[in-house]
């Protein structure tokens, strides 16, 4: 399973990259705004800065919602760096834009997926990734994981689709565990969710005990 970090914060991206487990980055306009990034030049420069920190696959989202606008933005974003994956919203014009960009060899990530049929049509258009949002479905009392399982099943039924399931809106370790069990190809997680994966109270307790026993034995030798 591939791990992407879901942030536009350069420090978090650097720390996740330093862990040695990072496969990519996803951003969205809200995450960019959270970092105070606005204006065409600043946005492009920030995406370039992210690309310089990681090995590959940086999802950069278009703002346009019309076909021509999405194509223009998508081509401009892809020109920043070969690591860029153009993120396109799941709307009719978006499906056309995904088809255009994938025919040009530009990787795409179809975002705001809330049904398996949306994922299927994005895959038909040639999307590299589809991003089903687990947490936002859970928020409205609809089981987000059911969507992940359905999409994985459909894509496994049709291997020629060649699109990866990128689980998004991941809110905690349990989401990640369930995504891995369901066979999602990728999960994109906030920094805190990634670092929490290392934690267990019995690990802390066990380590404290090991170190205390070692210190005692050392004292006896030195006495
Ligand atoms: C990533 O591609 C999505 O934009 C992101 O995971 C959405 O997460 P949220 O629902 O926590 O905002």
* ipTM of this complex: 0.98
Atom of ligand 1 nearest to the CA of 28: 4
**What's the CATH code of the domain at 79?**
3.20.20.70
Instruction: Write out pLDDT tens, residues 205-217.
Output: 999 999 999 999 9
Beta strands in 34-83 (DSSP E): 58-61
Catalytic center residues: 87
Atom of ligand 1 nearest to the CA of 59: 2
What average pLDDT does the chain have? 98
Instruction: Write out pLDDT tens, residues 83-122.
Output: 999 999 999 999 999 999 999 999 999 999 999 999 999 9
CA of 132 to the centre of ligand 1 (A): 9
CA-nearest residue, atom 5 of ligand 1:
169
> What is the domain count for the chain?
1
The pLDDT value given to residue 223: 86
On the CB side of 153, CA atoms within 13 Å amount to 8
Domain that holds residue 97: 2-222
Comparing C-alpha atoms, which of 154, 141, 143 is closest to residue 183? 154
CA-based Rg of the chain, rounded to a whole angstrom?
20
Distance CA 174, CA 136 (A): 15
Distance CA 156, CA 48 (A): 34
Atom of ligand 1 nearest to the CA of 166: 2
CA of 206 to the centre of ligand 1 (A): 35
Residues with beta carbon inside 6 Å of ligand 1? 6, 26, 28, 111, 131, 133, 135-136, 168-169, 188
Comparing C-alpha atoms, which of 97, 104, 95, 96 is closest to residue 122? 95
Q: Which residues on adjacent β-strands are paired with residue 60?
A: 86
Task: State how far Cα 32 lies from the chain centre.
Answer: 14
Distance CA 128, CA 175 (A): 22
Q: What is the DSSP string of 154-200?
A: HHHH-GGG--EEEEBS--SHHHHHHHHHHT-SEEEE-HHHHHHTT--
Give the phi and the psi of residue 124 in degrees, each rounded to 5. Answer: -60, -35
CB 76 within 8 A of CB 44: yes
Instruction: Write out pLDDT tens, residues 13-70.
Output: 999 999 999 999 999 999 999 999 999 999 999 999 999 999 999 999 999 999 999 9
CA of 215 to the centre of ligand 1 (A): 46
């Amino acid at each position: 399973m591939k791990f992407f970090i879901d942030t536009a914060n350069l420090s978090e991206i650097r720390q996740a990259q330093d862990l040695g487990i990072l496969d990519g980055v996803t951003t969205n306009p809200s995450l960019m705004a959270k970092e105070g990034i606005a204006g065409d030049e600043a946005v492009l420069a920030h995406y370039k800065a992210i690309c310089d920190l990681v090995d590959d696959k940086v999802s950069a989202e278009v703002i346009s919602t019309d076909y021509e606008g999405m194509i223009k933005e998508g081509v401009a974003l892809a020109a920043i760096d070969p690591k860029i994956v153009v993120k396109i919203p799941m709307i009719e014009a978006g499906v056309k834009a995904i088809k255009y960009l994938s025919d040009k060899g530009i990787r795409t990530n179809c975002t705001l997926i809330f049904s398996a049929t949306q994922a299927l049509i994005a895959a038909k258009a040639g999307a590299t990734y589809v991003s089903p949002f687990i947490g936002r479905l859970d928020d409205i009392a609809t089981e987000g994981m059911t969507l992940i399982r359905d999409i994985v099943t459909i894509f496994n039924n049709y291997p020629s689709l060649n699109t990866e399931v990128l689980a998004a809106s991941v809110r905690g370790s349990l989401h990640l565990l369930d995504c891995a069990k369901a066979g999602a190809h990728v999960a994109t997680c906030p920094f805190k969710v990634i670092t929490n994966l290392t934690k267990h109270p019995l690990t802390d307790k066990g380590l404290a005990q090991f170190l205390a026993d070692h210190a005692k034995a050392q004292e006896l030798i030195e006495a």
